[in-house]
Structure 1
Amino acid sequence: MFNWVILSSRMNDIDHAATSHKVLATRDYLARPELFRGSRPNIINLARSYRYQSRGYYASLLAGARGQRVIPSVETIIDLSARKLYENAVPELEDTLNKVCVKAGERPSRLNIFFGYTADQRLERFARLVFDWFRAPFVEVTIKDNGAWLSIPKVALGSVTKLSDKERAFFFECLNRYTGRQWRDAKAKTPAKYTFATLVDANEALPPSSISSLKHWARIAARMGVEVEPIGKRDLSRLANYDALFIRETTSISNHTYRFARRAQQEGMPVIDDPVSMIRCTNKVYLDELMAGNGIPVPKTVMIAGIDDLPRAADLLGFPMVLKIPDSSFSRGVSKVGSLEELKALATTWLEDSDLLLAQKFMPTAYDWRIGVLGGKPLFAVQYLMAKEHWQIIKHDTGGKPLEGGFRGFSLASAPPLVLDTGLRAARCIGDGFYGVDLKETDDGVFVIEVNDNPNLEHGVEDFAEKDEVWTRLTNWFLERLEG
């Protein structure tokens, strides 16, 4: 039927001669869902307003519900509705803006960015970055000149109706450039029905999956009609060429992995890890509150907001205790302290970079359970043994390569029911994706240590007991969402 459909608040808002694409009023789009039944057009929403519960807002919301790709997505609309929702993007945007403006010799007070393009081609690196963060037809960036530094006080969705004739002509030029690109790269014919992107960094010291493990998955996925293709952090602009995304780099809200997850979500692609899971899992303060609020047992915990909280932690937890930075991974930013003096020294250092720390009761065990959960169901069960002469499964301060303990694989049927059930309950508090729940099994019961949004998945380790069923179910998780 139609590959691209442009939505407009009023039909005369759009110069129909400026585009070859179908133009439809938002009111008709909302009221007549049967218009595109059986097809999946790409929707460009050019409503006059995207405020909450407006027709423009509902157009993007229902496009997602109808399985249609739309820009801006409702997530982008919400992100740009308040600075506090997009402020994590501002440091990178400001850094790039200042670099390109110094090079170009320009100090603009406002930039209109249309589909990742701007009228001043010297600033297009910045424009592409804005489009990477906020996939929208028209983004207006307000810039404040502070002398030595250009800051960005506001990023907002713009309305085409407020553009001058010259700006509007350039907008439609950018629209046609954007829609004229092939949605999928031309490739040699292949029996694969879908192509999944896997975000990897071959140089990462402790990746969640090795390249050899991902090649093993690719062989299994190929038998299911799926091609698995590795991509890197510079491939964000190509992400829409794929059907799904599996992130196999260590995730962080502050790096490119979050941007890839957001872009995949904006494209309507199934993604592991999704942005919400990243936000929830990468912060141990949130996890501790979430687990406790849902009645899931966790180690006794004290929040540290300043040095004055340390005596209370010592009284409640005793020594040794475990001190944690909220946003940490692979046992880094987690340390055992044996006295109040050690606690004060370490907390003083860590509080320079983090406003909050977590102190937890020390619970020594010979191993940690890891329950893998996918789509709310158990995927694997593994015991990770502690590193030799260490209290964690990974020992970092070795002067060389980190030292890891061994593992023991268990079939799901042989895993302790309480461990399995507790892991499932914890993961379901996060979402419907892929999680690794770490648990301590003690004489006092089973306790959740953390929920990982980006858990290890290695051939011969996590799939030791369940074998290729692990990889088959992973592939099916994506397929079910693509075909549903």
Structure 2
Amino acid sequence: MSWVIVTSRPGDLDQVATPHKIITAKDYLVHPTLFNGQRPKVINLAGSTGYQSRGYYASLLASSRGHKVIPTVETMIDLSERKLYETALPELEVSLNKCRKELGGDFPARIVIFFGIAPSKPWERFAKLLFDWFRAPALEVSIKDADGWASIRKIAFKPLGRIDGEERTRFLACLDAYTSREWRDGKTRTPARFTFATLVNPQEDMPPSTVASLRYWARIAEKMGVEVEPITRKDLAKLANYDALFIRETTAISNHTYRFARRAEQEGMPVIDDSLSMIRCTNKVYLNELMSANKVPVPATMMIAGPQEFEQAADTLGFPLVLKIPDGSFSRGVKKANNPNELAQIAGKWLEDSDLLIAQEYVPTAYDWRVGVLGGRPLFAVQYMMAKKHWQIVNHERNGKPDQGGVRTFTLRDAPAHVVDTAVRAASCIGNGLYGVDLKETKDGVTVIEVNDNPNLDHGYEDSGEKDEVWVRLTQWFLDRLERTAR
């Protein structure tokens, strides 16, 4: 069972109007074992949301029973007094006034939003933002429009008993849209115990996993009682409906991926990539210091804060040397300087936007090792070959799409033990999630180039050595944490 709808009275919502289970708040409260062995998503439409009311207790006990519920008791408390939600008003009112500008003419004194779905296109941003702040089935916003500025008088729950006529028709349509699922791969063979959200960007040129690979994972996860569904950056408000989050678009502290990770953590959901791993892996300055402090071998490195370090970098590292901006990804923000003029030109330009750069010794190899580490254990091992006639695995300087080198796959048993062990040591400095450790191997030994929080994981490439065990272990990582929380 996926969805349960809680109402105040049996006749508040006609069972014919929705395919989902309808139950009264009283029955939900007095029958704690009714959904044993299941993890339903609960939509609480009880008319009473005040402290210690039946509606309040329905949401409170849903949480203790491991059921996902909207609204939560936190949302009920937040909306009980204006002073508790006034920190949300500035952002909401800016969005509200953009709606006002688009609509023109008379502005309504109230707007009702169901499940974050707008009644018309001009209201879309405001509706999503409101639901982002307050996840509730029905919210009524009272508006004061004066002197060319719309301000919010009050935000309140809209009781089901006061939703009728055309509003009820719209409510039922929004309920159906909200509870609909997008990514289904045939008939479920094992009843889903959990639903995992996978954050994707269909327009990304170099995603860490292709849609085909994620569909492949979905088929394996299905056999383990897990439903995998894609979400996009527009679905932050829906995140609490899922049990776990796997971020499969390129992460950055400055974009929505970090916000998704933080929201998942606030909801108590296991997440890859977690926000702390993003912070630690994104910045190469931090990574270098962390690896050095933990005696993990890295190339000779120095920091450049200004032109005064150019000569020292040349003397210490020699030429060619490698320059990096702190937060590049996929070989972006990494350039080779072959002489003092190139060093001054590249570093001088980058220092206009960054207070600190990294200079590293140049270690030429025909490939980079990439060892995937999950939960402190090696997951896969591959060699990424350098792009054709280039010194990196990805050449971004070609016209058109980036040029990537090939992939050579290994079983973990066949991969050199010292390479795998060094990768695990490096990843353990970051956390307990999923990491891709890049290493160079020469006659002088192994050095760690980077630890990535958002490593590539594609069917037919990174999983070629260990086969489906890669996807099984990925699924189990989430399940272990969910089951630990349930206990």
One fold, TM greater than 0.5? yes
Counterpart check, 1:185 vs 2:179: yes
Q: Per-residue CA shift, 1:6-34, capped at 9, x if unaligned?
A: xxxxxxx9666xx542469xxxx9xxx9x
DSSP 3-state at the match of 1:235: helix
Larger-gyration structure (1/2): 2
| Count of matched residue pairs | 409
Q: What is the correspondence of 1:49-88 to structure 2 with a 5 Å cutoff?
A: none
Contact map agreement 2:115 2:178 (CA 8 A) in 1: no
| C-alpha distance 115-273 of structure 1, shift in aligned 2 (>3 A) | farther
Q: CA deviation at 1:197?
A: 1.9
Q: Per-residue CA shift, 1:434-475, capped at 9, x if unaligned?
A: 110001112222111111111011111111111111111111
Q: What is the correspondence of 1:72-471 to structure 2 with a 5 Å cutoff?
A: 99=98, 125=125, 128-129=128-129, 132=132, 167=154, 170-173=155-158, 185=179, 190-191=188-189, 192-193=191-192, 194-471=194-471
| C-alpha distance 379-348 of structure 1, shift in aligned 2 (>3 A) | same
DSSP 3-state at the match of 1:327: coil
Matched to 1:327, the amino acid is: D
Q: CA deviation at 1:129?
A: 3.3
Q: CA deviation at 1:372?
A: 0.2
DSSP 3-state at the match of 1:336: strand
DSSP 3-state at the match of 2:287: helix
Contact map agreement 2:377 2:424 (CA 8 A) in 1: yes
In the alignment, which residue of structure 1 is the partner of 2:55?
Answer: 21
Q: Per-residue CA shift, 1:20-62, capped at 9, x if unaligned?
A: 42469xxxx9xxx9x986665855248999xxxxxxxxxxxxx
Q: Per-residue CA shift, 1:164-216, capped at 9, x if unaligned?
A: xx85xx445599999x9799826699554122222222221111111221222
Structure 1 gap segments, 5+ residues each: 6-12, 50-76, 84-89, 106-113, 138-162
Matched to 1:329, the amino acid is: S
Q: CA deviation at 1:278?
A: 1.3
Regions of 4+ moved over 4 Å? 1-5, 13-16, 35-43, 46-49, 92-105, 114-117, 121-124, 134-137, 172-178, 180-184, 186-191
Q: CA deviation at 1:292?
A: 1.4
In the alignment, which residue of structure 1 is the partner of 2:167?
Answer: none
Contact map agreement 2:68 2:240 (CA 8 A) in 1: no
Matched to 1:404, the amino acid is: Q
Structure 2 gap segments, 5+ residues each: 1-27, 30-41, 79-83, 105-112, 137-151, 164-170
In the alignment, which residue of structure 2 is the partner of 1:140?
Answer: none
Matched to 1:319, the amino acid is: F
Matched to 1:336, the amino acid is: K
DSSP 3-state at the match of 1:234: helix
TM-score (norm 2): 0.70
Mapped partners of 2:97, 2:310: distance in 1: 42
Q: CA deviation at 1:338?
A: 0.8
Q: Per-residue CA shift, 1:111-149, capped at 9, x if unaligned?
A: xxx9999xxx998835743764x6799xxxxxxxxxxxx
Matched to 2:201, the amino acid is: D
Q: Per-residue CA shift, 1:342-396, capped at 9, x if unaligned?
A: 1111112112222221111111111111010111110001111111221111111
In the alignment, which residue of structure 1 is the partner of 2:73?
Answer: 44
| C-alpha distance 265-463 of structure 1, shift in aligned 2 (>3 A) | same
| C-alpha distance 453-97 of structure 1, shift in aligned 2 (>3 A) | farther
| C-alpha distance 14-379 of structure 1, shift in aligned 2 (>3 A) | same
Mapped partners of 2:134, 2:284: distance in 1: 30
DSSP 3-state at the match of 1:335: strand
Contact map agreement 2:199 2:247 (CA 8 A) in 1: yes
Mapped partners of 1:38, 1:96: distance in 2: 36
Q: CA deviation at 1:104?
A: 7.7
Q: Per-residue CA shift, 1:236-284, capped at 9, x if unaligned?
A: 2222232222111111122222222222222222221112211211111
Matched to 1:430, the amino acid is: I
In the alignment, which residue of structure 2 is the partner of 1:108?
Answer: none
Matched to 1:21, the amino acid is: G
| C-alpha distance 46-331 of structure 1, shift in aligned 2 (>3 A) | closer
Query: What's the RMSD between the two structures over aligned residues?
Result: 4.7
In the alignment, which residue of structure 2 is the partner of 1:110?
Answer: none
Contact map agreement 2:50 2:56 (CA 8 A) in 1: no
DSSP 3-state at the match of 1:360: strand
Q: Per-residue CA shift, 1:66-103, capped at 9, x if unaligned?
A: xxxxxxxxxxx9xx9xx9xxxxxx9x999868855765
DSSP 3-state at the match of 2:297: coil
| C-alpha distance 172-184 of structure 1, shift in aligned 2 (>3 A) | closer
Matched to 2:366, the amino acid is: A
| C-alpha distance 326-215 of structure 1, shift in aligned 2 (>3 A) | same
